[in-house]
Amino acid sequence: MNSDLRHTTRISRRTALRSAAGLGALGALAAAGANAVAAPNDSGKSAIVIGTGFGGSVAALRLGEAGFRTTVFERGRRWTIRKDGNTFASTTAPDGRAAWFSDTVGLTSTLGIPVQRYPGLLDTVKGNGISSVYGVGVGGGSLAFGAFTAIPRKQDFRHVFPEVADYDSLAATYYPRALAMLNASPLPADIMAHPRYVGARSWAATVRRYGKEPVAFDYAIDWDIVRDELSGKATPSITIGELGFGVNSGAKNSTDHNYLPAAERTGNVTIKPMHEVFEIRPRSRRAGFIVKARVIDDQHRTVRIVTAEADHLFLGAGSFHTTRLLVEARARGTLPRLSTRIGDGFGANGDFLTARAGLTDDYGAIQGGPGFGRVYEDGMAGGPVSMVYHSTPLPSPLGKTLTTNLIQVHTDERGTVDYDHAGRAAVLNYPHPEGNVLDRRGAAFAEHFHQRAEARHGRVGGFPVYSRAAGFGSGSTYHGLGGVVINQAADQNGAVHGYDNLYVVDGAFAPGAVGLVNPSLTIAAMAERTMDRFVVTH
Ligand SMILES: Cc1cc2nc3c(=O)[nH]c(=O)nc-3n(C[C@H](O)[C@H](O)[C@H](O)COP(=O)(O)OP(=O)(O)OC[C@H]3O[C@@H](n4cnc5c(N)ncnc54)[C@H](O)[C@@H]3O)c2cc1C
């Protein structure tokens, strides 16, 4: 075994006995490779990655390729697509597989239904003032995401990243590299022409009625499997709007389909599912870190504690959880030199979720997904705004006349991740109550769009819905970002201030937004950039 990375697995007898009820899960963990040791390389270089979302997956692959012996800790389980089409829960009949150890599950924070606790897909962090939803499992948020992989416009990117000068190199190199890895492409014309995609066609027509051309972008979808869904050869998933609880047909190109298997194929990367990191401290004699993780079972009991150490540590636990680990390490004194800026800059990407109901156009009671294109409006008083159509993930109770849209606006409103001494844990604080700038700009555009696209054309009857009480508006987000923000708590290369060899590769680096598009592609592209720079210098 490489001397730089020692796995000191400590299982107390008492813990093992206490966990006897979880022995089934223990066996499953062993079968999943939880104790596996990757083939040693000769380079003597070692790394740990925490988390397997977009940032963690990119880091794992690029480290493996560069010959770093890499351990990847992921607190969630591995999901392998089953032939019977029953890998994930469905939105019409959800169960515990849809939620991370929660008693309820829902696609928005307010529409929860009771389920059994399980290491399922969606983790809702209930903050003060906002709920932020994350994907959990090998693949992280890419398992849950709607597969929208869009590149922000230069002016919108520069608005949120004013000091990141090289948008052009991202556009020329890193966005295309990430899109190629995720095998992303636009909605093909033959699928858009299918009756199940009437919603996408109605949306395109609505945008044209509004006076704009929809801007097409890529989706991380295997469209051949979608064609199989439409012809009855694969389990209907994307074609019935099911994405948030996982895609049973296997058509979603989540990172467990591309980056992560490629990382494992290097022979240098070991992924450890059901390993929840809870402590980070520096090594005492030389550069590097010691990381402690709980091996958990499917009741969230600790089976044992694993300790690993390596020369370099890459944080990819997702914006809140990466920040939480650092905020807690600073408060507990294991990483006391971390910047006081850690925890700043949490934002919801300017997200404002709306429904449009009672429409005269036919959107389809069951809507093929994920969506089609984006409309930009640069003429709003509060600055540019964008909106995407999102196929409704449930059969519409209002027939064919309801659909969902996500508006994104620029706003400077930000929250913080702080250490709560009473609860001895990090908490999310978002001190911008209902009626904030984000709400006002989002609602203004929802009304404006409705007036121009529907009412002006005499198609009255439709109305926008953005009430928080119904789970819309800005009370919750799928796109929580920030906490270890570039040029504040970390440098342009992702190096976290205060400690050498510590890097942020996930959405925590983004200053609360990425610029009027969904964030995953920018996270992957920025991680590619960070890893390029790291590999060149190491
Ligand atoms: C329902 C839903 C739909 C979405 N749709 C889209 C979309 O269409 N397009 C888009 O661009 N974005 C979308 N997003 C957002 C997107 O998923 C995230 O922006 C993205 O996944 C963030 O990537 P990341 O690298 O920051 O980390 P994440 O993807 O959040 O991954 C972090 C990983 O770290 C793990 N982890 C956390 N804490 C620990 C710990 N202590 N120990 C070990 N492991 C840990 C988590 O389990 C997780 O697997 C969606 C999100 C959700 C929830």
Q: What is the DSSP string of 512-528?
A: S--SSS-SHHHHHHHHH
Q: How far apart are the first and last CA of the chain?
A: 21
Domains in the chain: boundaries: 1-79+121-183+253-350+476-538, 186-219+351-409+435-473
Q: Are 197 and 363 in contact (CB under 8 A)?
A: no
pLDDT for 25? 30
Q: E strands, 127-176, where?
A: 131-135, 148-149
**Residue ID of nearest Cα to ligand 1 atom 27:** 318
Q: Which of 179, 478, 514, 530 to mutate to test the pocket of ligand 1 (most atoms within 8 A of CB)?
A: 478
- Residue 236 and residue 250: Cα distance in Å, rounded? 10
| Residue of 483, 472, 402 whose CA lies nearest to 434 | 472
Which of 48, 57, 75, 149 to mutate for ligand 1's pocket (most ligand atoms within 8 Å of CB)? 75
CB proximity list for 498: less than 8 A, separation 6 or greater: 335, 337, 338, 339
Give the separation between CA 230 and CA 535, rounded to whole angstroms. Answer: 43
Q: Do domains 1-79+121-183+253-350+476-538 and 186-219+351-409+435-473 have the same CATH topology?
A: no
**Distance from the CA of 44 to the center of ligand 1, in angstroms?**
31
Which one is the CATH code of 186-219+351-409+435-473: 3.30.950.10, 2.60.40.3140, 2.130.10.10, 3.30.410.10?
Answer: 3.30.410.10
Ligand 1: which of 279, 479, 486, 509 to mutate, most ligand atoms within 8 Å of CB? 479
Over its length of 538 residues, how does the chain's per-residue pLDDT go in tens digits? Answer: 333 333 333 323 333 323 322 323 323 333 333 333 334 455 689 999 999 999 999 999 999 999 999 999 999 999 999 999 999 999 888 999 999 999 988 765 556 788 999 999 999 999 999 999 999 999 999 999 999 999 999 999 999 998 776 899 999 999 999 999 999 999 999 999 999 999 999 999 999 999 999 999 999 999 999 999 999 999 999 999 999 999 999 999 999 999 999 999 999 999 999 999 999 999 998 899 999 999 999 999 999 999 999 999 999 999 999 999 999 999 999 999 999 999 999 999 999 999 988 888 889 988 999 999 999 999 999 999 999 999 987 766 666 788 899 999 999 999 999 999 999 999 999 999 999 999 999 999 999 999 998 777 766 567 889 988 888 899 899 999 999 999 999 999 999 999 999 999 999 999 999 999 999 999 999 999 999 999 999 9
How far is it, in rounded angstroms, from Cα 521 to Cα 259? 13
- Cα(307) to ligand 1 centroid in Å equals 24
219 lines ligand 1 (CB under 6 A): no
Q: Is 203 in the pocket of ligand 1 (CB under 6 A)?
A: no
The b/e string for 9-18 (b: 16+ C-beta within 10 A; e otherwise) is eeeeeeeeee
Atom of ligand 1 nearest to the CA of 319: 26
| Cβ pair 110, 475 in contact under 8 A | yes
**Could you tell me if the CB of 147 is within 6 A of ligand 1?**
yes
For ligand 1, the distance from its centroid to the CA atom of residue 55, given in whole angstroms, is: 9
Tell whether ligand 1 has an atom less than 6 A from the beta carbon of residue 386: no
pLDDT of residue 170: 95
Q: Sheet holding 275-282: strands in order across?
A: 8-10, 302-310, 289-296, 275-282
148 in ligand 1 pocket by Cβ < 6 Å?
yes
Structure tokens at 206: 């609505």
Most ligand 1 atoms within 8 A of CB, residue of 187, 321, 516 to mutate: 321
Neighbours of 263 (CB within 10 A): 28
How far is ligand 1, taken at its centre, from the CA of residue 169, in Å?
25
At the top level of CATH, the class of 1-79+121-183+253-350+476-538 is alpha beta
What is the spatial distance between Cα 141 and Cα 307, in angstroms, rounded to a whole number? 25
Determine the residue of 79, 486, 520, 522 to mutate for testing ligand 1's pocket, defined as the one with the most ligand atoms within 8 A of the Cβ atom. 520
Which residue stretches of 43-145 are H helix?
54-65, 141-144
Cβ-count burial 341-363 (b if 16+ within 10 Å, e if not): bbbbbbbbbbbbbbbbbebebeb
Q: How far is the CA of 211 from the centre of ligand 1 (A)?
A: 35
Instruction: Count other Cβ atoms within 10 Å, centred on residue 141.
Output: 31
Q: Which residues make Cβ contacts (< 8 Å) with residue 506, sequence separation at least 6?
A: 51, 53, 54, 55, 56, 315, 316, 317, 318, 319, 322, 523, 527
Provide the pLDDT for residue 30: 31
CB 479 less than 6 A from any atom of ligand 1: yes
> 486: Cβ below 6 Å to ligand 1?
no
CB of 259 shorter than 6 A to ligand 1: no
Contact 467, 439 (CB under 8 A): no
Ligand 1 and 271: CB distance under 6 A: no
Half-sphere exposure of 367 (CA within 13 A, CB side): 30
Question: Does the CB atom of residue 373 touch ligand 1 within 6 A?
Answer: no
Q: What is the pLDDT of residue 38?
A: 39
